[in-house]
Amino acid sequence: MSTVLVILETAGGKLRSHCLPGITCAAQIAAASGKQLALLVLGADPSSAATAIAAAGYGAAAVHTLAAPTLEPFTAEAWADAIVHAIKLTGATVIGGSASSTLRDALPRAAALLDAPLVSDVVAVKSADTFTRPVSSGRALLDVKVAAPVVFFTARGTEFEPAQGGAAVSVQALAAPQVNNLGVQVKGVQKTESSRPALTEAKVVVSGGRGMREGANFKILEQLTDLLGGALGASRAATDAGMVPADLQVGQTGKIVAPELYIAVAVSGAIQHLAGMKGSKVIVAINKDEEAPIFQVADYGLVAKWEDAIPRLIDLIKAKSAREAS
């Protein structure tokens, strides 16, 4: 039987939660096409992570592993080569996962190696061969019909429910040839250490925009973020200006988020930014410009300077927390 293969990412021996919506999307494709669902874990030694994933099952028929020292640290070249090996060994005809920065980098390369089509940022599965994806910075939706022996996809994680655990399945190690990284070497990795949740996994996100003016002013947003137990984000204008690191960018070319609460501070609301956060459950906008586009998607809007509004909001949250603690 043909297989829908989901590429998973792990950290610390555990499945990264942003992969779960990708499993859901793949399961819908498998159900529509009559194919079986399988999961793939890549890494230098993915066995422990795969065992934990297999215990949950997630509706898959099997969990495959492919081990190679060149798979860590990540390079798109090595992952693409490993994915192609896995496809040949498993007979997978549909391959994909959540639209993370990792798979956005690796899957197009794997698709190119097999001369196969890739449908990116899928938001709905219409049928076995027809998928819906946003176009024109999210202002319209396009149904894409693909007919090919092998098809790749990435799923927009904000549009699919996280997959739930199910019956345990077996772990099957794939014996692949040497994984080729095409001579790419990682000379070093710079990590941003933070006690805050990952931006794509946080229930609360506080984002600052160009109106914050300079990086030092993001300190007050960090205070608000920490009080709410959330993650800090930013618009592209703020990251391009060097106020905060680029990995905090929310938007079409950054992270796609859909937290329970999204607070946009001094963010004008360009269409590219809205494409990355409009799926949030509740959107709060604080901006001194009452004509700012962000107010068109906000559930709650406050026309005010952030210099006045944010300190006051922090004081109110602290007072509420003190009352609840007493």
254 and 156 in one domain?
Answer: no
Pair (261, 128) in one structural domain: no
Residue 105 region by backbone torsions, left for phi larger than 0, else alpha for psi between -120 and 50, else beta: alpha
Please give the pLDDT value at position 195: 83
Claim to verify: residue 238 and residue 158 sit in the same structural domain? no
Q: Which domain holds residue 101?
A: 3-173
Round to whole Å and give the CA distance between 298 and 321. Answer: 26
Identify the DSSP state of 214: S
Residue 136's identity, in one-letter code, is S
The number of distinct structural domains making up the chain is 2
CB 118 within 8 A of CB 152: yes
The two three-digit tokens of residue 229, written as one number: 């137990």
Eight-state DSSP code of residue 160 = S
pLDDT of residue 84: 97
Domain final residue, candidates 134, 155, 173 = 173
- β pairing state of 151-155 and 140-145: unpaired
Residues 248 and 317 grouped into a single domain: yes
Pairing mode of beta strands 231-234, 171-173: unpaired
Residue 209 and residue 137 share a domain: no
Residue-level pLDDT, tens digit, the chain, 326 residues: 689 999 999 998 999 999 999 999 999 999 999 999 999 999 999 999 999 999 999 999 999 999 999 999 999 999 999 999 999 999 999 999 999 999 999 999 999 999 999 999 999 999 999 999 999 878 899 999 999 999 999 999 999 999 999 999 999 999 988 999 999 989 888 776 678 998 988 999 999 999 999 999 999 999 999 999 999 999 999 999 999 999 999 998 899 999 999 999 999 999 999 999 998 999 999 999 999 999 999 999 999 999 999 999 999 999 999 999 88
- 208 shares its domain with 160: no
CATH number, domain with residue 27: 3.40.50.620
- Per-residue pLDDT, 192: 67
Residue 59 falls in which region: left (phi positive, over 0), alpha (psi -120 to 50) or beta = left
CA–CA separation, 131 and 121 (whole Å): 10
Strands, E assignment, 45-107: 62-67, 92-98
In single-letter form, the type of residue at position 209 comes to G
Record the pTM: 0.86
Asked if residue 313 is part of any domain, the answer here is: yes
Q: In this structure, are 13 and 122 located in the same domain? A: yes
In a domain, 278, yes or no: yes
Give domain status of residue 192, yes or no. no
Radius of gyration of the chain measured on its C-alpha atoms: 21
Residue 236 domain-assigned? yes
On whether both 158 and 296 belong to a single domain, the answer is no
161 belongs to a structural domain: yes
In a domain, 79, yes or no: yes
Q: Is residue 288 part of a domain?
A: yes
pLDDT of residue 138: 81
pLDDT of 1: 63
Whether the CA torsion 289, 249, 215, 309 is positive or negative: it is positive
Backbone angles phi, psi at 298, to 5 degrees: -75, 140
CATH number at residue 283: 3.40.50.1220
Q: Residue 32: its pLDDT value, please?
A: 97
* Same structural domain, 267 and 158: no
154 and 230 together in one domain: no
Q: Residue 242's Cα: distance from chain center in Å?
A: 23
Reported as half-sphere exposure (CB side, CA atoms, 13 A), residue 280 has a value of 35
Cβ-based neighbours of 322, under 8 Å, separated by 6 or more: none
Within-domain flag for 140: yes
Q: Clarify whether residues 33 and 163 are in a common domain.
A: yes
Residues in the chain: 326
Indicate whether 157 and 255 sit together in one domain.
Answer: no
